[in-house]
Structure 1
Amino acid sequence: MGLLSRLRDVLRRPVEPALSVDDPDLVVVVEAFDIVEADSAALARSSRWRPDELAVLRHHLRIPAEQVERARELLEPDGWVVASGDVSHISRVQKLDALHCSQERSRMASLAQRLGGEALGWDALQPDR
């Protein structure tokens, strides 16, 4: 297969629609706020989650207001968006699977603890269909 054929194939592939953490069509499709429930179990019990589509993974952390900027500095290089309030929401668009949810839950729990706060859990959002 020549270079032009490969380029043509790439250009013909369907493009996944862009998804943004602030997309107004997003709805919660999975919730995981029970620390004893495995992330794989949370995903398995969801009847709305579409595993082949992108989702917004959103972590809920309670961190001191003076530490929010530090959280932002640490997370934004990896594509996370930090929205602060009584509970900070830390979100990123990605494909969801149990392994990555578990890794990120652990990362957020560690971050919250280092910043003097606590990780409350996570949810995932996808466009309503």
Structure 2
Amino acid sequence: MGLLGRLRDMLRQLVGREDEPALSIDDPTLVVVVEAFDIVEADSAALARSPRWRPDELAVLRHHVRIPADQVERARELLTPDGWVLVEGDISHISRVQKLDALHCSQERSRMASLAQRLGGEALGWDALQPAR
């Protein structure tokens, strides 16, 4: 196993417990549990106001961005090594499975805003999905 594979395994262990069932970004049971589309609201506040979010469970963090069509492949090249999946559309979605906390949500929001801006687009916000309970 190469260095990248070992790093991904380490990240999986840090992000999720081994006894947790795997979660997929296309799991049909996923429902939105947190939304953060107001740029002036802190990510910690968005998480705190959501009674449906379960902080001890994995979630799909999904960023909503507008990226020019001619920059979508470049965005994929930049995002894929870190486990992000980009689904293209009028509003594209960039998603990955992870544990959610305010620090990581804030870091990733900033990263997506920077990426979108560099590629001539804009970041609109994010939401998080977890299996319905």
Q: TM-score, normalised by structure 1?
A: 0.89
| Equivalent position of 1:50 in the other structure | 54
Structure 1 vs Structure 2 CA RMSD: 1.1
* Equivalent position of 1:28 in the other structure: 32
SS across alignment from 2:76: helix
3-state SS of paired residue (1:101): helix
Instruction: In structure 2, list runs of 5 or more residues that go unmatched.
Output: 1-16
1:27-106 alignment, distance < 5 Å:
27-106=31-110
Aligned to 1:18: 22
Say which SS state the counterpart of residue 61 (structure 2) adopts. Answer: strand
> How far did 1:14 drift?
6.7
Identity %: 89
Radius of gyration: which is bigger?
1
CA shift for structure 1 position 57: 0.1
Q: Distance in 2 between matches of 1:14 and 1:73?
A: 29
Question: Could you list the runs of 5+ residues in structure 1 that have no partner in the other structure?
Answer: 1-12
TM-score, normalised by the number of residues in structure 2: 0.86
List per-residue Cα deviations over 1:62-116 (Å, max 9, x = no partner).
0101111100000000000000000110000000000000000000000000000
Deviation at 1:15, TM superposition (A): 1.5
Q: Which runs of 4+ in 1 moved over 3 A?
A: none
